[in-house]
Structure 1
Amino acid sequence: MNKSILIMIAVVLLFNCSTAQKVATVEAPKVVSTIDKSDIKASMIKALEWQEAHPIFASAPTDWTVGAYYTGVARAHKATKDMIYLAALKNQGYWNNWQTFNRLHHADDVAISYSYLYIDMAGGRRNLVDLEPTKKFLDAHLYNDDEWKAGTDKSEMGKTILWWWCDALFMAPPVLNLYAKHTKQPKYLEEMHKFYMQTFNQLYDEEEQLFARDMRFVWKGNNKDAKEPNGKKVFWSRGNGWVFAGLALILDDMPTDYEHRPFYENLYKEMADKILEIQPEDGLWRTSLLCPESYDHGEVSGSGFHTFALAWGINNGILDKKHTPAVKKAWKALKACQHEDGRVGWVQDIGAFPEPASADSWQNFGTGAFLMAGSEILNLE
């Protein structure tokens, strides 16, 4: 693909981007029985156009923030088949030269490969995607020695396993699962399951059916970091959103006859029950799931991932359709957080525990969560 074609693609992507800035208010939305699919599609495209016109990343154009955003773009294309999404995906992959980021044992840095795999599987120009960098990363990530795997890092975060923080369960497992499917190499799925179970065993709270972000927040007697002012355990909305959305992505591509699939389905159902139980009246989850009064406002990145995962479960027959009104309510609230120009606000900044957001706070991964939610809401009845 030459530069002139890419420039034309960029012009198409940015042409309709509005420059108006109006703060969205978040109020308890009225739930309607029908879904205006044209309105949802328009909101998603506006979000894409604004984000493409305002690129941002934490470390590099291949880091986890960009990976999460383009996962949302991939899901939007899967749901709509609109070429504007595929153009954006191909454009970023080309300019990234199909590379991952450089921390071979950090799950965050493989997240970008979800979009590369999706492009390769979606068809189009043959040999456009170079999956060799992804393969090299995955092989090093899984099979090379590392201090986390060896359990020699004794930090309070619990860096004694490869995926020691719950966010990792969105960043790496869906990619490994999809790579195994695409290349027909089940060994990558087996490795994914092995490391997933380590994280599950270390961070999942069986009583609350939620994940601690890392070992600092695992309930250990008088561990003050693991306790909210109301006495409840600390469970971060986006952290659990990463896990919950990651489960939906995994189940979407995991073979139906895979021997460990029941584990993932049961975990999905447990988390779905909890997320639905604690959904606030206005539809949006707070940054602290069990202490919503700490920051009593909705937050889009965690809520977007929760909405995506719940809608996916309904659409795929894993979750009862009786929960559809709750999911529709969540989408209405998410949409109220979008500015008229397409920017998605009320996104908590990069972090590792519950913190506040505002109408004007945004991040690319928040846009990705918004697109993921919309992609599944479109398929609700």
Structure 2
Amino acid sequence: MNKTILTLLAVVLLFNCSTAQKVAETQAIDKAQVKASMIKALEWQEAHPIIAIAPTDWTNGAYYTGVARAHKTTKDMMYMAALKNQGYWNKWQTFSRLHHADDVAISYSYLYIDMTDSRRNFVDLEPTKKFLDAHLYEDDIWKRGTRKNEMGQTILWWWCDALFMAPPVLNLYAKHTKQPKYLDEMHKFYMQTYNQLYDEEEQLFARDMRYVWKGSDKDKKEANGKKIFWSRGNGWVFGGLALILDDMPQDYKHRPFYEKLYKELAAKMLEIQPEDGLWRTSLLCPESYNHGEVSGSGFHTFALAWGINNGLLAKKHIPAVKKAWNALAGCQHEDGRVGWVQNIGASPEPASKDSWQNFGTGAFLMAGSEILKLN
């Protein structure tokens, strides 16, 4: 291949990560390259911090969950250094809204450090305990159902993203402290969200009640007549579900519900996976923004690979997961930045080669952490 052709190929790869996938989808996964790509993503993200609300907000919670999962697989101390550094400077605090699931997502990383580091008393888990006790047991207008929040909801976790933010933390806290009552409370509130937002016909989650379709809601459908299902919203649920199952006791009485839900979401994601490997921001109307998107796809890839690695998903699906990872890798810039990430939102919107967010990097790291375990 001459120099001119190589140059043209490089331009194509930079233009669109989905196009890059078409070149790479048949390639075997080089695990040394996966590790190198993950470290580059970490280094770039640590050098380019982004704060949506505060250093302890949900975006950093999702990012450092990815860092924790990367360390769990690779044991590379660069990940642990990043985890300890952010926890120390955060003084192990959550964010301030005690009845908002987003604001405890950062505690997943604190719990992971405490469970992994041999030095006791390095992590202060008291702020996490304070949050969880208030979140679960303190009286609150949404729990009482006496007032509606801004989305017209009277349940605690009224948006599907919440199923990534709080449940894995509660589950891990219950495991770490040997207090199953937190797991039981998690299940109670999880079921409220499931009952309101899960569409049994499509086997996908509406983002919130604004997208729960009824026969008269003609304005709640996509241009192609399909219901609106957001990729990252379902990625939050699917990725969070894999995290929950990873730490949930095998004999927990409600575990069969979570395994069944996992298998339903996995089957749906495999069914609708685009040919180039990356899911579009609108799952059932991919033509709305016909390009791959990394944050949702990263969470889907993580969850699917986790299922294969843990026996909940057949190994025949490895090619689909490899295809997804190769496409994700094609979205990473040479300097380590992970592009094609939809901005903060609550519905399907476009992304671009240069759009990035820390939670997109977190999803990329989560995906890589399970790809490395594939046989």
TM norm structure 1 = 0.93
> 2:77 is aligned with what amino acid?
M
Q: Residue 323 of structure 1: CA displacement? A: 0.4
Q: Pick which of 223-232 and 140-149 moved more.
A: 223-232
- Aligned-residue Cα RMSD (Å) equals 1.2
**Matched ranges for 1:133-144 at <5 A:** 133-144=127-138
Q: 1:328 maps to which residue?
A: 322
Measure, in 1, the Cα distance between the counterparts of 2:130 and 2:320.
42
Measure, in 2, the Cα distance between the counterparts of 1:287 and 1:280.
12
1:360 is the counterpart of 2:354: yes
Match of 2:63 among 69, 74, 81: 69
Match of 1:257 among 251, 257, 270: 251
In structure 2, do the counterparts of structure 1 residues 123 and 225 end up closer, same or farther at CA, with 3 Å as the change threshold? farther
In structure 2, do the counterparts of structure 1 residues 87 and 234 end up closer, same or farther at CA, with 3 Å as the change threshold? same
1:48-98 CA-to-partner distances (Å, cap 9, x unmatched) read 000000000210000000000000000000010000000000000000000
1:334-353 CA-to-partner distances (Å, cap 9, x unmatched) read 00000000000000000000
Q: Residue 222 of structure 1: CA displacement? A: 2.5
Measure, in 2, the Cα distance between the counterparts of 1:210 and 1:29.
30
**Gaps in structure 2 of 5+ consecutive residues:** 1-12
> 1:123 is aligned with what amino acid?
D
In structure 2, do the counterparts of structure 1 residues 56 and 246 end up closer, same or farther at CA, with 3 Å as the change threshold? same
> 2:168 is aligned with what amino acid?
P
Q: 2:16 maps to which residue?
A: 25
1:171-197 CA-to-partner distances (Å, cap 9, x unmatched) read 000000000000000000000000000
Q: 2:305 maps to which residue?
A: 311
Q: Is the 8 A contact 2:25 2:276 kept in 1?
A: no
Q: Among the aligned pairs, what percent are the same residue?
A: 83
Measure, in 1, the Cα distance between the counterparts of 2:239 and 2:145.
28
Aligned residues: 360
Q: 2:174 maps to which residue?
A: 180
Q: 1:129 maps to which residue?
A: 123
**Matched ranges for 1:180-219 at <5 A:** 180-219=174-213
1:286 is the counterpart of 2:277: no
Match of 1:345 among 327, 339, 350: 339
1:137-166 CA-to-partner distances (Å, cap 9, x unmatched) read 000000011111122333572421000000
Match of 2:164 among 161, 170, 188: 170
**Gaps in structure 1 of 5+ consecutive residues:** 1-21
Measure, in 2, the Cα distance between the counterparts of 1:321 and 1:241.
21
> 2:308 is aligned with what amino acid?
I
Measure, in 2, the Cα distance between the counterparts of 1:280 and 1:25.
15
Q: Pick which of 117-126 and 52-61 moved more.
A: 117-126
TM norm structure 2 = 0.94
